[in-house]
Chain A
Amino acid sequence: MSLGPYASFIVTSYLAAAIVVAILIGWIMIDYRSQTERLRELDKSGVTRRSGRSATELR
């Protein structure tokens, strides 16, 4: 597979897409961990939901 004289443009395009998608996935995963951690802390401090379920319960 030869990419010809404009290989740098092609490779940069695919690399940029990979980096941006990786940042999106990483941001969403970190955000999820951060929210569940905050819910766990609230659960430990005795705050419960109106339904009586644990704060960390995903229902």
Chain B
Amino acid sequence: MTLIDLANPSRFLALTARVLPWLAGATVILLAIGLYQSAFAPDDYQQGATVKIMFIHVPNAWLSMFVWGVMSVASLGTLVWRHPLADVAAKAAAPIGAAFTFLALLTGSLWGRPMWGTYWEWDARLTSVLILFLMYLGLMALWRAVEDPSRAARAAAVLTLVGAINLPIIKFSVDWWNTLHQPASVMRMGGSTLDKSFLIPLLVMAIAFTLLFVTLHLAAMRNEILRRRVRSLQMMQASRIAFSSEMGAGSREENASKEAGAA
């Protein structure tokens, strides 16, 4: 099956039916391994056991940006290639991305209180991630506000691409400005500064959460395709009812004129 075959929603539905159980199984296994490794990871010499929050906070923070990246590629697909599944992919990803961003903010706040002495600080990293969360909510509101999915898709695609400017701002905010948030310690020039005892569970959890996103995204895309099928069938049903009532009215008028002529 090539990528072009997946442009057909029916083929996509058949593929998801086959793939989803395997993806869900792999996600559960990797999450179980990641949680086990996180539970038995050693305490940090400075942070103590609170370092365990990192194993849940960092994957969510990565995914908050990754999901917007996926939506940006899908938006290009909508505007440039007019791929039939592109806006389905973007729309289905938004609530999942919003949930991951919310978790990144919440767990970051819960990690910040014991380590920084505050739940929140209006610094560049925290504020730019909060803006990302609000943009997710704005996109979801836009999709709900416009009834026609194709019109909503074009407006949402433009907004998503404009919003992608925020991704490098989030990533480099800790380098460009003096922030309370620590600088990058995993994805950086010169390699990770994390010890293997923290890095391995963190990577396992990051892969597990990425698989979770892929699973949920495919399932949400399947739902969106079915929702559009329901919508088009309801419109067909409504037009049939309107047509048959017009036909009924037409034949009644014809009969009435025949009767008048006979009289």
Contacts and interface: CB of A to CB of B under 8 A. Distances in A.
Query: Are these two chains actual partners, yes or no?
Result: yes
The 7 closest A-B pairs by CB, nearest first: A35-B226, A6-B114, A4-B49, A13-B107, A3-B49, A31-B223, A42-B233
Interface stretch (B81-89, B147-155, B214-222): B214-222
A32 B219 contact: yes
A58 B228 CA distance: 13
Contact of A24 (B114, B216, B222): B216
A36 B53 CA distance: 39
Nearest to A21: B212
B48 A17 contact: no
12 contacts: A9-B110, A13-B53, A14-B56, A21-B212, A28-B216, A28-B220, A31-B227, A32-B226, A36-B226, A38-B230, A47-B237, A59-B11
Interface of A: 1-7, 9-10, 12-14, 16-17, 20-21, 23-25, 27-28, 31-32, 35-36, 38-39, 42, 45, 47, 49, 55, 58-59
Given A3-B49, A24-B99, A47-B236, A39 B111 contact: no
B226 A17 contact: no
B111 A9 contact: yes
A42 B39 CA distance: 50
Interface residues of B, number: 42
B223 A35 contact: yes
Given A20-B99, A28-B219, A58 B14 contact: yes
A12 to B, nearest CB: 6
B43 interface: yes
Contacts of A38: 230
Contact of A49 (B57, B107, B226, B233): B233
B230 A35 contact: yes
A48 to B, nearest CB: 8
Contact of B53 (A4, A9, A31): A9
A4 B212 CA distance: 30
A27 to B, nearest CB: 8
Given A31-B220, A47-B237, A47-B240, 7 more contacts: A4-B50, A9-B114, A10-B49, A20-B102, A28-B220, A35-B227, A39-B229
A13 B114 CA distance: 13
Given A9-B114, A47-B237, A16 B106 contact: yes
Contacts of B222: 32
Nearest to B217: A28
Contacts of B107: 13, 16-17
Contact of B233 (A20, A27, A55): A55
A1 B42 CA distance: 9
Interface in B188-238: 212, 216, 219-220, 222-223, 226-227, 229-230, 233-234, 236-237
